[in-house]
Amino acid sequence: MTSNKETDGIQNMKQNLQKMTAIALALGAAGAVLAQTKDEPGKISGTVFGDVYYVSGHHDSAVEGMNGFWFRRIYLTYDRWIDDKTSLRLRQEASSAGDFSSKSKMTPFMKDAYLKFKEDGNTYTVGLHGTPTWGTVEKALGYRPIEKTPLDLWKLGSSRDHGISVKGKLDPSGATKYNFMIGNGSSTSTEIDAGKTYYLSLDHKVSKNVSVMGYIDHWDKPGHKDRRTAQAFLAYKNDDFTAGLLWADQKRQLDGGGDYTMGLWSLYADVAVSEKSKLFARVDKLNAPSPDGPKISYMQLSDAARPTLYMIGLDTEVRKNVRFVPNITLVTYDGSSVPDSVFIKLTFAVKF
């Protein structure tokens, strides 16, 4: 006859074995997913970048002198091929607040959630996904962990939207490509109006090293606050040198009537100084004050005068997919008494 103590012991052993089996199965499943290659159906990847920073000058005396460590982006992405022509992406993002005042914890949110399928040479995407606004610029210049691309930084568009897009080739050689999207115009948030946003970009490969892009959009916003943006981009790239010249113009309807127009010029260049390092510089110049300047994360710039941004740094790959980038950003304000802003940073970036 089995005692209660023996029965309890056997029951506990069974429970422990079940827990160990569940953990082993979970670890095995995770390992199988992580070990998959691009030729297999699923893959987990990630990107992490941020800065050790010091604000040595700022128009806001409360911000000047601040220093610390923050994450500007943490991505965790799951990609899965459903069949040869259909794929799914789910991506979570989290980041530090970057407003020099919030003590909130990093809260992850859904950055991408879309279904993509290919048919007759075109690619169709449905769900929350990237807009055509600056994908070409970001890919051509490749400095996203260092700083946002110009339209992104100055809040002249959105990187994501809920909607449907189609992209493909306009000629048999594939030298000219298009990307058209209809979206809510609500970025990663829920839509609360009837308006839609229309995006169109055209890319042309002039030669092996030279490419051009043209872009337009129209934002149908409630309360007579429509926006329209035009953008042109020229890029040159070889193994040791990259350069990009961007022009953009945005017109915003105002509540009381009339329009507010902002023009932007941006020049970027980098040059290899060793096998693992490149020196880079960038200049952005706006022809009008930026209404969204105080909302620019990790900078909180002034909206009282025309800003010009200067950036210089050294990008070094210290390990495979690990980069350290000491850099300095100076923002001046044309024709005004607004004090300059100076940001000294050691940026880090990791991909896996």
SS3 string of the chain?
CCCHHHHHHHHHHHHHHHHHHHHHHHHHHHHHHHCCCCCCCEEEEEEEEEEEEEEEECCCCCCCCCEEEEEEEEEEEEEEECCCCEEEEEEEEECCCCCCCCCCCCCCEEEEEEEEEEECCEEEEEEEEECCCCHHHHHHHCCCCCCCCHHHHCCCCCCEEEEEEEEEECCCCCCEEEEEEEECCCCCCCCCCCCCEEEEEEEEECCCCEEEEEEEEEECCCCCCCEEEEEEEEEEECCCEEEEEEEEEEEEECCCCCEEEEEEEEEEEEEECCCCEEEEEEEEEECCCCCCHHHCCCCCCCCCCEEEEEEEEEEEEEECCEEEEEEEEEEEEECCCCCCEEEEEEEEEEEC
pTM: 0.86
| Mean pLDDT over the full length of the chain | 90
Predicted confidence (pLDDT) at residue 1 exceeds the cutoff of 70 = no
- How confident is the model over 75-103, as a mean pLDDT? 95
Convert the pLDDT of each residue in 263-300 to its tens digit: 999 999 999 999 999 999 999 999 999 999 999 999 99
Average pLDDT over residues 28-57: 75
pLDDT tens figures, 116-133: 999 999 999 999 999 999
